[in-house]
Chains A and B, each alone.
Chain A
Amino acid sequence: PEATAKRMAWVVQVYAVRDNQDRKAFAELFGYFAPRVKSFLMKSGASPDLAEECTQEVMATLWNKAHMFDPSKASVSTWIFTIARNRKIDILRKQRRPEPEDLPWGPEAEPDQVDAMGLQQETEQLGQALATLPAEQRQLIERAYFGELSHSQIAAETGLPLGTIKSRIRLALDRLRHAMK
């Protein structure tokens, strides 16, 4: 519950940035996430200088895209990770990144509170499940995400502890599809 409260606090901070351009809320997000984004980028092969520059761009993108954040579809950690990953492909790998089409928005633009809370909670559970994996298995997963393993080196069954979060995301998609009809 405490950990979920921390995640909900991040959501509130992103909302404060979105609604009030709240620099204090932004500074709090920055203080927590920027060093982790930088770590991810360096582990993915960026030099310290490049990782620093890239991290600042990632955090600026958070500010600019705060209106697109939807806590019923992603935790703040997931969302920032995807921004960092996209920046990594742009800057580090110098490639274009083809992205899936966005699903068109249905009439219910404001995300459901219960869904948002549920997803934050389940992402927290996922994080805890990852932390309790045997060290060897966890390292393999980390190496896959840091780009030390190619897709053909990733075993077909990674044994990732997925489950509840999948049904939550699936539910959100089904609702969106339904709303579009």
Chain B
Amino acid sequence: MMNDMKQIKHHLTEPLLIGYAAGTLPEAFNLVVATHISMCDTCRAALAEYEAVGGEVMLDADPVDVAEDALAATLAMIDGGHLAERPKPIRTQNSVFPGPLQDYISGDFDSLKWRKVGGGVSQLVLNTSKDASVRLLRIPAGTAVPDHGHQGTELTLVLQGAFTDEEDRFGAGDVEVANEDLHHTPVAEEGVDCICLAATDAPLLFNGIVPRIAQKFIGI
């Protein structure tokens, strides 16, 4: 899954890029954004612009006096050498999961603990802050996810395979941003299973035709 940008047709929206640049998105959304950017240079460049805007907004803010001994205290901190730094993620070659996502799953693809949610679809909920949720979805080739609407925002990033819904076709690297306006039935393409990273900040609204499946989705 190399960064062939020409194949990516559906990108992050401006509000999501600003939110990521500003550090105001829920963790679950940050994970989708960071994963998409790992696959997409168009959005990588766009993010750099929004970060530049952030830098200028910061420069323009009225300065607030720091403590009198702030510089000395900072130099002491530097001399003490105890400021932990996190390593940047590095992708394992040929994985379906870009670096930022690998930090959230333990083990390799074959050891993942998928949970069936009905209709052949399986999911794996990832552990993030509670203001939104994110999960991996595995939709067998040719299968449909139950028809549903949305209350908040739902981001769906395709990692492998492809799905088609009322909007368009979404292939590897594409991200669909759905909100209240969209009611859809995503169907995985024939061939390989479709694996998506899906985040939402509100429960999905199912039509009630398949309530048992719907309940499991909603119960997350």
Chain A positions within 8 Å of B, measured between CB atoms, are 23, 26-27, 30-31, 34-40, 42-44, 48, 51-52, 55-57, 59-61, 63-65, 73-75, 77-82, 84-86, 88-89, 93-102, 123, 126-127, 130-131, 141-142, 144-147, 149-152, 154-158, 160, 162, 165-166, 169-170, 173-174, 177
Contacts A/B (CB < 8 Å), 22 sampled:
A34-B66, A40-B57, A44-B23, A52-B66, A57-B83, A60-B77, A60-B83, A74-B51, A78-B52, A78-B54, A81-B55, A96-B27, A98-B104, A99-B89, A102-B88, A144-B24, A145-B24, A151-B16, A151-B29, A154-B15, A173-B45, A174-B41
- Number of CB contacts from chain A to chain B under 8 A: 229
Residue of B3, B100, B153 touching A152 (CB-CB under 8 A) = B153
For the complex, give the distance between the alpha carbons of A81 and B71 in Å.
19
Interface residue range, chain B: 35 or more
CB distance from B201 to the nearest CB of A (A): 8
Hey, which chain B residues are within 8 Å of A95, CB to CB?
27, 30, 128-129
Check if B24 sits within 8 Å of A151, measured CB to CB. Answer: yes
Hey, which chain B residues are within 8 Å of A141, CB to CB?
53, 57
Hey, which chain A residues are within 8 Å of B48, CB to CB?
73-74, 78, 165, 169
Q: Which residue of A lies closest to B180 (CB)?
A: A152
CB distance from A180 to the nearest CB of B (A): 10
Hey, which chain B residues are within 8 Å of A48, CB to CB?
64
Among the stretches B32-40, B141-149, B157-165, B167-175, the one at the interface with A is B32-40
With A81-B51, A81-B54, A158-B14 known to touch, is A35 a contact of B65 (CB < 8 Å)? yes
* B182 contacts partner chain A, Cβ-Cβ < 8 Å: no
For the complex, give the distance between the alpha carbons of A145 and B15 in Å.
11
CB distance from B64 to the nearest CB of A (A): 4
Check if A123 sits within 8 Å of B60, measured CB to CB. Answer: no
- Which residue, of B61, B73, B75, B89, has the highest number of chain A Cβ atoms within 10 A? B61
* B108 contacts partner chain A, Cβ-Cβ < 8 Å: no
Hey, which chain B residues are within 8 Å of A147, CB to CB?
22-24
* B90 contacts partner chain A, Cβ-Cβ < 8 Å: yes
CB distance from B3 to the nearest CB of A (A): 8
Residue of A63, A74, A84, A155 touching B52 (CB-CB under 8 A) = A74
Check if B37 sits within 8 Å of A75, measured CB to CB. Answer: no
Chain B positions within 8 Å of A, measured between CB atoms, are 3, 13-16, 18-19, 21-25, 27, 29-31, 33-35, 37-38, 41, 44-67, 70-71, 73-75, 77-78, 83, 85, 88-91, 98-101, 103-104, 128-129, 152-153, 179
Q: Which residue of B lies closest to A82 (CB)?
A: B51
Check if B100 sits within 8 Å of A100, measured CB to CB. Answer: yes
- Additional A-B contacts beyond A31-B71, A35-B63, A150-B24 (18; CB < 8 A): A27-B71, A39-B64, A48-B64, A57-B77, A60-B74, A60-B77, A60-B83, A78-B52, A82-B55, A85-B23, A101-B90, A130-B57, A145-B53, A150-B19, A154-B18, A158-B15, A160-B50, A173-B45
Check if A127 sits within 8 Å of B56, measured CB to CB. Answer: yes
Check if B49 sits within 8 Å of A166, measured CB to CB. Answer: yes
CB distance from A141 to the nearest CB of B (A): 7
Check if A85 sits within 8 Å of B54, measured CB to CB. Answer: yes
Check if B99 sits within 8 Å of A101, measured CB to CB. Answer: yes
Q: Which residue of B lies closest to A174 (CB)?
A: B41
For the complex, give the distance between the alpha carbons of A173 and B48 in Å.
11
For the complex, give the distance between the alpha carbons of A145 and B98 in Å.
27
CB distance from B173 to the nearest CB of A (A): 13
Residue of B19, B27, B49, B51 touching A98 (CB-CB under 8 A) = B27
Hey, which chain A residues are within 8 Å of B70, CB to CB?
30, 34, 52, 55-56
Hey, which chain B residues are within 8 Å of A173, CB to CB?
41, 44-45
Residue of A77, A79, A98 touching B59 (CB-CB under 8 A) = A77
